[in-house]
Amino acid sequence: MLRLVLTLAVCAGLGPACVRAQAQPGAPTSYSGVSVESSEQIFSIMCALDAAGFGADESTLGEMPGRLALRADLLKLKGPATNALRDFYTGHALADPGENLSRYIAFALVAGPPPKFGFQVDRDLLPPDVLSIDGFQDVLADFYGEANLDARWRRLSTEDQNAVARYQASVAHIVENSNAYLREVVKPSGGLSFTVYVEPLIGNRTIASNTGDRYALVAGSTSEIPADDIQHAYLHFLLDPIALRNRHVIETKQALLNIAARAPNLPVEYRGDFVALADECFIKAVELRLRRLSPERLEAALEDDDLSGYILVRPLVLQLKTFEKSDPSMSYYFGDLMAGVDVAVEQKRFQGVTFTATQAASALNPDKASTDGQKSDIDRLLDQGDREIAVQNAAAARSSFEEVLKQNPDQPRAIYGLAIASVLSGDAPRAKDLFEKLVSPAPESGTGPSSKPADPTLVSWSHIYLGRIHDLEGDRGSALVEYRAALAVEGAPESARLAAQRGVDAAYSAQPSPAGNAPQGR
């Protein structure tokens, strides 16, 4: 029987590409696999985007007069390479500025040094985000020469050194505090590294990613260093390997996924990957302990995590209090930490709790929960089907979604829900037919589900499931087509993009799954 299970890497990244950064003189060298640097690749790409009209936030440039002047100059540039750049950017622009920027940063993290920006890996290993802007390498190389970016880069070296120095102290503090709390001594091994790249031209943004064993965070603000974002990214670098080494211990608590999957606010990638969920909860718990919150603020944070589906944060915070009184490092203690999570206690704590997307703040207090009496019959059936999918009751979910389709044969959520129910019950042919219906091109006329604007979440996840079905059938070529189609869906959620990238990086293989492991993809 063919079973499909949503699985994601604990910290899905851009593939096994290596990162090449150009550090300025005076930038700190790597210590314990951690460094703070500026990158000529990122600088060059941001100059190109500015010249093309990206319009990054200038609030981060108040103390960077050189870059403010540079941005004004870039907008005035003229020439064949600049015109070609602007045409390329306009032709590949996404509606979401953040998603748009992330693709070009992904390019920077796999590109070699100027002036050619040659990729550091074979084309087959390039991240899908980079493939989505195929041709940018030549456009950037031409613009680099026409705009004399090498000279501009050298003129701004003092600004870069000052920005790197500001971050160095903050990163050092985060590293020292985190390592001391977890009693970990990080030794560079196997290429594992964590790099903070500082580039004020990206504005008040941070972009975190990992390329294989190389974790990176690109930040723009120099006046307000995003310490929380750096802390979170560094803890992933530090703790992801521990969670992965102990996945067999984590999986003994897998039954708790049935509870977490019921929370509509829980990101999709965690609904089907319990190891990923546990790892994220582990990191959130460590962050709470490092913040040393008052009892009132800690309880408020824990309740928010409960209501959002991060149900392991609370018990892990309790276990961390015991860890703080012990001697071993977290690498050796993690098994005991997870063993202390009592599945029965957590199941009892959430008995009778109904999570709702519109009133999550009342979910742990049923007396305050509002009714859904104003919803239509179809909406109620759809919600009911989603809840049944969350607990892997395939038969009941199928009944709910089929009832919707009797009233509205082209309801996309019902088609998608029925496809997921088919996945759960092992009916791959029906699942494939339903997913293909959702991703079919819009007809010129008609009333099918594709005749209306498609929901990018449903479409992207449908492509991902089709890719997994093809992988299980041994058709890797068709699987790659589907994963890349998912990445090309404008407006697709980040969770879908991560899952699709994972599918491109490695063929999907079925794994045994307890109840509650199928995501709703919504």
pLDDT at 343 over 80: yes
Structure tokens at 105: 């940063």
Report the b/e string of 12-25 with b at 16+ CB within 10 A: bbbbebebbbbbbe
Peptide bond before residue 25 is cis, with ω within 30 degrees of 0 = no
pLDDT at 231 over 50: yes
Distances (CA, A) of 84 to 50, 78, 187: 14, 10, 46
Of 89-98, 245-254, 439-448, where does mean pLDDT reach its minimum?
Answer: 439-448
Q: Are 75 and 47 in contact (CB under 8 A)?
A: no
Better-scored residue on pLDDT, 205 or 81: 81
Of 67-81, 150-164, 171-185, 207-221, where does mean pLDDT reach its minimum?
Answer: 207-221
Mean pLDDT score, 237-250: 92
pLDDT of the residue at 61: 64
When pLDDT is cut at 50, 70 and 90, the band that residue 305 belongs to is very high
**Residue 97 CA to its chain's centroid (Å):** 16
Q: Classify strands 214-219 and 206-211 as parallel, antiparallel or unpaired.
A: antiparallel
Whether domain 374-505 has CATH 3.30.365.10: the reply is no
Which element (helix H / strand E) includes 34? strand 34-37
Of 203-207, 222-226, 356-360, 483-487, where does mean pLDDT reach its minimum?
Answer: 356-360
d(CA 510, CA 521): 18
pLDDT at 11 over 50: no
Strands (DSSP E) found in 199-343: 206-211, 214-219
pLDDT at 415 over 80: yes
Distances (CA, A) of 502 to 49, 148, 486: 27, 38, 12
pLDDT at 358 over 60: no
Return the SS3 of 193.
strand
pLDDT of the residue at 451: 44
Q: 3-state SS string over 432-484?
A: HHHHHHHHCCCCCCCCCHHHCCCCHHHHHHHHHHHHHHHHHCCCHHHHHHHHH
Please tell me which of 19-28, 142-151, 213-222 the model is most confident about, judged by mean pLDDT: 142-151
Structure tokens at 330: 């977290």
d(CA 440, CA 459): 9
Long-range contacts of 243-252 (CB under 8 A, 24+ apart): 243/10, 243/275, 243/278, 243/279, 243/282, 243/334, 244/10, 244/275, 246/334, 246/335, 246/338, 247/275, 249/334, 249/335, 249/338, 249/339, 250/274, 250/275, 250/278, 250/279, 250/338, 251/275, 252/338
Distances (CA, A) of 88 to 96, 122, 140, 229, 249: 17, 23, 10, 31, 49
Mean pLDDT score, 199-214: 83
Return the SS3 of 100.
helix
Better-scored residue on pLDDT, 286 or 448: 286
Please tell me which of 88-92, 144-148, 210-214, 258-262 the model is most confident about, judged by mean pLDDT: 144-148
Return the SS3 of 37.
strand
Listed residue (206, 216, 235, 171) closest to 18, CA to CA: 216
> Could you tell me if residue 516 is left (phi over 0), alpha (psi between -120 and 50 degrees) or otherwise beta?
left
pLDDT of the residue at 314: 96
d(CA 338, CA 139): 51
Which residue type is seen at 313?
Answer: V
Question: What share of the chain in percent tops pLDDT 70?
Answer: 80
Domain boundaries, the chain: 34-229, 246-362, 374-505
The tens digit of pLDDT for each residue in 417-448 reads: 899 988 888 888 999 999 999 988 654 444 44
Cβ contacts of 257 within 8 Å, gap of 6 or more:
271, 274, 277, 514, 516, 517
Return the SS3 of 198.
strand
pLDDT at 326 over 60: yes
d(CA 482, CA 464): 6
pLDDT of the residue at 219: 92
pLDDT of the residue at 23: 37
Question: Mean pLDDT in the chain?
Answer: 81
Phi, psi of 432 (to 5 degrees): -60, -45
Structure tokens at 407: 């009233």
When pLDDT is cut at 50, 70 and 90, the band that residue 38 belongs to is very high
pLDDT at 210 over 80: no
pLDDT of the residue at 62: 61
Measured distance between the N- and C-terminal CA atoms of the chain, rounded to whole angstroms: 26
d(CA 467, CA 461): 10
pLDDT at 511 over 80: no
pLDDT of the residue at 323: 96
Structure tokens at 50: 């500015």
Mean pLDDT score, 451-467: 80
When pLDDT is cut at 50, 70 and 90, the band that residue 505 belongs to is confident
pLDDT at 203 over 60: yes
Structure tokens at 320: 């961390």
Better-scored residue on pLDDT, 1 or 246: 246
Of 109-118, 255-264, 312-321, 383-392, where does mean pLDDT reach its minimum?
Answer: 383-392
Q: Are 225 and 170 in contact (CB under 8 A)?
A: yes
Cβ contacts of 347 within 8 Å, gap of 6 or more:
255, 256, 259
Structure tokens at 377: 């019959």
d(CA 106, CA 207): 10
Of 23-32, 45-54, 192-201, 493-502, where does mean pLDDT reach its minimum?
Answer: 23-32
